[in-house]
Amino acid sequence: SKTAEAAAAARAYHAGYQPPLVFDDPLARAFLRGFWRLVLATPLRYIVFEKGMKDLKSVGGQVLARSRFAEDRLALAIDRGVRQYVIIGAGYDSYCLRQPHGESALRIFEIDHPATQREKRRRLQAAGSGPLPENLEFVPVYFEREQLSDGFTRSGFSGGSPAFFSWLGTTPYLTNRATLASLSMIVEQAAPGSEIVFDFLGPERLLRADSHRQVYRTLKAFTERRGEPLIGEFEPGDLAAELEAMGLEMLEQLDHEAQDGLYFQVRGDHLCAMPGSYLVHARVRRTD
């Protein structure tokens, strides 16, 4: 995925050149090749990220905010005793290499297309990262013809124990029906008390500022030119009702203003969350 590599580039640029850090991913650079590696290694980085990508700067902020949000909530779940972490559409996520709680804290399952996983292995090997952690399991799923449940069935995932799921940067590329079906499948596979963090886009008409609507339109044009159009968006209230109906309890739903308040207040570089973006933290309803 071109967007997965662009997200890794945004994390790498931020880790090296945008203090204070919202999300520190010093290993993101290991996944970059070709254009992005050249950009990060030369003064081109300023031209590309601060000039060329100026109109999409908040999209980079969204990459950082959603990763920080997910890993902050994961840390709290680990403190509560959760020992399974499922990363859906993992792409070039580097948590499996960073593991701030240590390898004994979690069993990590990365669910993604097998071609993406093969490329991830190749890039890690080329970067000299050493053997993959023993607590990591790649779960290949051919999304074109399989369901998430097929991957769970083939893996060592335990549906009898609570798990933490992250599903980031994906739902805008799916139809709403596909997103809701996947969330429902997670509820079916996960033990009560399991948690999930995911992000979504709201409708453009909810944005009040012209500048915010322009960012939204620029991003849509950018992804469509790269063959990965944005086709999914939810009314925040409607989504909350859908989650409740399928057995998910909404714990948090943060719009871009709430994200700015959490992560981007003390800055002088105009980095912020993307207008129209939302972060969700939900829990599989307990039956007791």
| 12-41: average pLDDT | 94
| 252-274: average pLDDT | 95
Q: What is the pLDDT of residue 287?
A: 66
pLDDT, the chain, mean: 93
* Higher per-residue pLDDT: 143 or 246: 246
Q: How far apart are CA 122 and CA 116, in angstroms?
A: 10
Residue 183, pLDDT > 70, answer: yes
Q: How far apart are CA 156 and CA 83, in angstroms?
A: 13
Residue 288, pLDDT > 60, answer: no
pTM for this structure?
Answer: 0.94
Residue 246, pLDDT > 70, answer: yes
Q: How far apart are CA 143 and CA 43, in angstroms?
A: 39
Q: Could you please report the per-residue DSSP string of 72-103?
A: HHHHHHHHTT--EEEEET-TT--HHHH-TT-T
Burial of 67 (0-12, 13-18, 19+ CB in 10 A): buried
| 252-261: average pLDDT | 97
Q: What is the pLDDT of residue 129?
A: 74
